[in-house]
Structure 1
Amino acid sequence: MKELLKASNWISGLQWLFFIFANTVVIPITIGAAFHLSQGKIIFLLQFSFITVGIACMLQAVIGHRRAIMEGQSGLWWGVILTLCSTAAAQGISLETLGGSLAVGIIISGMLTIIIGLTGTGQYLSKFFNPAVMGVFMFLFGANLIRIFLKGMFGLPFGNHAGKAAMNLPVTLLSIVIAIIVMVISVKAPGYIARYALLIGIIVGWILYTIIFHSKSSSGEAAFHIHFFPLGKPAWNIGIIITAVITGLLNLANTFGALKGTEDMYQTKTTKKQYRLSLSISGLFVGISGFFGLVPFAPYVSSIGFLNQTQILKRMPLIIGGLMFVIMGVIPPIGHFFSLLPLSVGSAVLFVSYLQLLNSSFQFFKQVRLNTVNVYRSAIPIFVGIIIMTLPASTFDTLPNMIRPIISNGLLVGILLALILENFFSWDHYGLSKEKQQSAEVYMKKDSKAN
């Protein structure tokens, strides 16, 4: 109780609130736009996202992994869902069928995650996600999200009409200005201001957008109405369901990355109990997401950067920030107001935020000894994943419907290739031996010339 009453914890909690808000507000709005939902359903997605994210953060801090790590809607899931939306029409899948099949797949993923958590197998699965896999994961994860944000900055619609639209030049120019403002604040401003760069970018960008484009607030209803399966009634497209289940398993990388990444800060190794409780709570909220059309949950790896910047390692500020976020979600006018946030503004701000994933990727690759022999372990998944991201959806029309959603997703293909290459080949042993052999041959040639 004493910790709850400390003014310093409430100030730190306010910082957590801003961080949680900036990383959450755009996600339900883009999903609603991609599935062409009504304003009322978008408001529901936004408000319910605020409520569930706030509760998830508090539960993880109190009875989960018990660290100050944000629990929110997964960027991996977000990227995969938006990619599936953009390719659905080319694959002959309606948005309602896509949404309904995703709901089924997400619920199954939630159940599997809970089982993994309760059985304690998460600690053993984490060994498959070694630094080389995590480096590829972070690199492709960043590339996929940046691609999505650039589309938003260009004024392109989300979903299956994005490829048919042309760049909106005025919106693009404003988005670039907003991105520059956020970058300048992040780099040049003092630390106590730089930590609010995302929030400042949203506020300034929204004001400029309203002034320049004479944007007006909608007069739609602000009441809170619960919608079950807002993206589509449960459907059974086996390819989409399999893609969702695989995404759910790969989404475990966020848990491993966030917990491993904070071990040095807390000066302790993550225990089997922490993995078990963290995964069980994440799985619960993944399952809830399937019923209510939310992007599924995971611990945020980006929390590591926030903790490094603020040094707020105590759990109480996160609990307070989560509580305030729940209150924001419970108040209907707040949800209605933020549902009007221009997608180009949110995309520009998050574009800058997720550029940091390149640094996260390099930090993992620093732990991998790459050379001319074993470079394939990372080069193959990265280059193949990137190229698939750039190919049109029609490229994969000749593939069976069951595997098409997976093979056409560069992010999933890249991560799967990394997992296969890392866990079926002894790259470190082979590369090191070959490197020593080559060094020895060079030395012998020099020695023979000297004689």
Structure 2
Amino acid sequence: MRQTNWFSFGFTTAQWFIFLLANALSLPIVIGQIYHLPPEEVAGLMQRTFFVIGLTSFLQGWLGHRFPLSDGPAGIWLGIFVIMGELAANTGQQPEEVLRVMVGGMIVAGLLILLLAGLRLIPKMLGIFTPLVTGSFLMLLAIQLSGVFLRGMMDIRTVSGTVRWDLVGVSLVVFALVLCFTTWGKGWMRSYAVLIGIVVGWAGFTALGYQSNSFTHSGFFTLPEFLAWGGPIFEPGMVVSAIVVALILLSNLIASTNAMQQVLTGEAKVAPSVLTRAGVWSGVATILSALFSTVGMVPLTVAAGFVEMTGQKRRGPFLTACLALAGVALIPVVIGFLSKLPGPIAYAALLASFGQMFGLGLHGVLKEPLDPRRTRILGLTLSLGAGMMFLPASLFLSMPSVLQSFFSNGLLVGTVICILFEQLWPPNRSKWAKN
């Protein structure tokens, strides 16, 4: 019996480790390509990402929400990184400076989350993030990222500029594979769809002669670099954006903890004290992400589905897997190997998983009837938010920096528009829309 218990503990820990790895593997490759980072910096980013995910997930599970609920790169932060990287490429701004601005923005967001949690205001903010606001945000995020991911997945060229259509075909196979597994897969195939797609795609690229850039590493043990992108820059426009992002992260935190509470106990909502603790450590996680120069972390809602599928509700294996991931991040040989993942494969896997985001957003919007008021707000949010994405970045260069950063980000513009209309146009005045 004792041997069976140890086997069960070890097997569950391995499942959690693979789940954590699958949700972290693609992001450093994508960020590295957008900001044109050399191979050694991509490996460093991957090391820091693994380390922070393992550390913050452990702290949340031990001291924060105390659920087997893993942290992972926040979609909103990934979107901001992608948008700022594209903006820098179009305006000639140095990528290194943009990354330092992102560090400053994450520190501001983390401090604001800490403040709101310390004042016990998080449970009182639920009224701001209505289903219409959160649903519209997810739909805009899917629209914003889809073009970037699709271009990264298909724009594979030789040195002479010729498109490698054979490699593009492999990327499309990975996209279709991950999409099919996440949509129709059962059990472990659905949970590990991204990891399966990455393995198949990587093997296909290798068979076709694709060679990733490599670097030499030395030593068996290496600590992650502190402030690898340099000291923070607190640019006014990013500070304003970070405040909005912090509020959106809180809605994600609430949704994730509620989903896990439902799976673990059957109750629909978590206690205010749990939200407060989770908020404190979510703020800490965001600040740690900034200090270790990676993308901001947030509890992943998809982890609730993983627990529901496996039926493993114990914290012990989860916490052990978190420590294991943080430990693996300290071994350069492992990180050096994983950093060779072809960029197009990372884009393809992320595009397939992010493709469901629009549907989730639409489902959230439809939780309440689409009366004339909500229909108009949704239409204005999507049309203005998505419309801003197609405007040239040079259009805003003459604006003050605080306005430039805001208006060049259609995701933030649309979200703010939706929040303002939801708060300033009460439902009981929906009769105006009929006149």
TM-score (norm 1): 0.86
Distance 2:412 2:6 in 1: 45
Shift, 1:364, TM fit: 1.5
Among 205, 211, 217, the alignment partner of 1:209 is 205
* Displacement after TM superposition at 1:199 (Å): 1.3
Letter in 1 for 2:88: A
Return 400-409 or 333-342, whichever deviates more: 400-409
Q: Kindly provide the CA deviation profile for residues 99-154 of structure 1, in whole angstroms up to 9, marking residues without a partner as x.
A: 22222222222222112222211111232111111111221222233333212212
Maintained 8 Å contact 1:10/1:320: no
Aligned to 2:250: 252
Distance in 2 between the 1:414 and 1:45 partners?
30
Aligned equivalent of 1:302: 302
Matches of 1:156 and 1:401, distance apart in 2:
34
- What is residue 26 of structure 2 aligned with on the other side? 26
Tell whether the 8 Å contact from 1:98 to 1:232 is kept in structure 2 after alignment: no
C-alpha displacement of 1:274: 1.1
- 1:392-439 deviations in whole A, cap 9, x for unaligned? 322333433221111111111111111111122113x233x679x99x
Partner of 1:430 in structure 2?
A: 429
Structure 1 residue identity aligned to 2:262? D
In the alignment, what sits opposite 1:162? none
Distance 2:383 2:308 in 1: 31
Q: Deviations over 1:81-109 (max 9, x none)?
A: 11101102444532222222222222222
Q: Which amino acid aligns with 2:126?
A: S
Could you tell which deviates more after superposition, 6-15 or 293-302? 6-15
Q: Given residue 290 of structure 1, which amino acid in structure 2 is its aligned partner? A: A
Match of 1:131 in 2: 131
* Alignment CA distance shift 1:60-1:383 (3 Å): same
**What is the number of equivalent residue pairs in this alignment?**
427
Of 238, 241, 248, which residue of structure 1 is paired with 2:239? 241
Which has the larger displacement, 303-312 or 54-63? 303-312
CA drift at 1:345? 0.6
Confirm or deny that 1:174 pairs with 2:205. Answer: no
1:63 maps to what in 2?
A: 63
Q: 2:260 aligns with which of 245, 255, 262?
A: 262
Shift of 1:188: 4.8
Question: In the alignment, what sits opposite 1:95?
Answer: 95
Asked if 2 retains the 8 angstrom alpha-carbon contact of 1:75 and 1:145, the reply is no
Q: Distance in 1 between matches of 2:31 and 2:284?
A: 21
Give the superposition deviation at 1:391: 2.9
1:24 is paired with a residue whose SS is coil
Deviation of 1:6 (Å): 4.2
How far does residue 33 in structure 1 lie from its aligned partner after superposition?
A: 2.9
Alignment of 1:281-296 (within 5 A): 281-296=281-296
Give the AA of the match of 1:314.
R
Q: In structure 2, do the counterparts of structure 1 residues 311 and 370 end up closer, same or farther at CA, with 3 Å as the change threshold? A: farther
Closer/same/farther in 2, CA of residues 184 and 230 from structure 1, 3 Å limit: same
Map 1:41-440 onto structure 2 (within 5 A). Answer: 41-91=41-91, 93-155=93-155, 169-215=165-211, 218-223=214-219, 224=222, 226-265=224-263, 266-268=265-267, 269-427=269-427, 429-431=428-430
- TM (normalized to structure 2)? 0.89
Q: Distance in 1 between matches of 2:181 and 2:374?
A: 40
Farther off after superposition, 325-334 or 25-34? 25-34
> In structure 2, do the counterparts of structure 1 residues 58 and 66 end up closer, same or farther at CA, with 3 Å as the change threshold?
same
Whether the 8 Å CA contact 1:56–1:72 is kept in 2: the answer is no
Measure how far apart 1:80 and its partner are.
0.5
CA distance in 2, matches of 1:304, 1:152: 30
Q: CA deviation at 1:219?
A: 4.4
SS at match of 2:23: helix
Q: Distance in 1 between matches of 2:252 and 2:143?
A: 16
Could you tell me which amino acid in structure 1 is paired with residue 169 of structure 2? L
Partner secondary structure for residue 72 of structure 1: strand
User: Larger radius of gyration, structure 1 or 2?
Assistant: 1
Whether contact under 8 Å (1:126, 1:253) holds in the other structure is yes
Please give the secondary structure, in 1, of the residue aligned with 2:298.
strand
Deviates more, 1:253-262 or 1:279-288: 253-262
| Matched residue type, 1:354 | F
Q: Are residues 94 and 378 of structure 1, via their aligned partners in 2, closer, same or farther at CA, if it must alter by over 3 Å?
A: same
Map Cα deviations across residues 280-336 of structure 1 (whole Å, 9 max, x no partner).
Answer: 111112112222211111111232443444343433332233122122212221111
**Deviating more after overlay: 67-76 vs 257-266:** 257-266
How far, CA to CA, are the matches of 1:170 and 1:233 in structure 2? 42
Contact 2:48 2:225 in 1 (8 A): no
Please tell me the residue identity of whatever aligns with 1:275.
L
The structural deviation recorded for 1:76 is 0.8
1:226 Cα shift?
4.0
Deviates more, 1:34-43 or 1:289-298: 34-43
* Secondary structure at the counterpart of residue 295 of structure 1: coil
Extract unaligned runs of 5+ from structure 1: 158-164, 439-451
| Alpha carbons 2:328, 2:334 under 8 Å: kept | yes
Which residue identity is paired with 1:357? M
Distance 2:141 2:179 in 1: 20
Q: CA deviation at 1:257?
A: 2.1
Q: How many angstroms does 1:270 deviate by?
A: 1.4
Give the whole-Å Cα distance in 2 for the aligned partners of 1:413 and 1:141.
12
Distance 1:120 1:171 in 2: 52
Once the two structures are superposed, residues 7-38 of structure 1 have per-residue CA deviations (whole angstroms, 9 ceiling, x without a partner) of 33432332222222121112122223333333
Structure 2: runs of 5+ lacking an equivalent? none
CA RMSD of aligned residues (A): 2.8
CA distance in 2, matches of 1:215, 1:93: 30
Distance 1:108 1:189 in 2: 40
Contact 1:153 1:347 in 2 (8 A): yes
Q: Within 1, Cα distance between the matches of 2:239 and 2:80? A: 12
The one-letter amino acid paired with 2:188 is Y
Q: Quick one: which amino acid aligns to residue 32 of structure 2?
A: G
Q: Percent of aligned pairs with the same residue?
A: 25
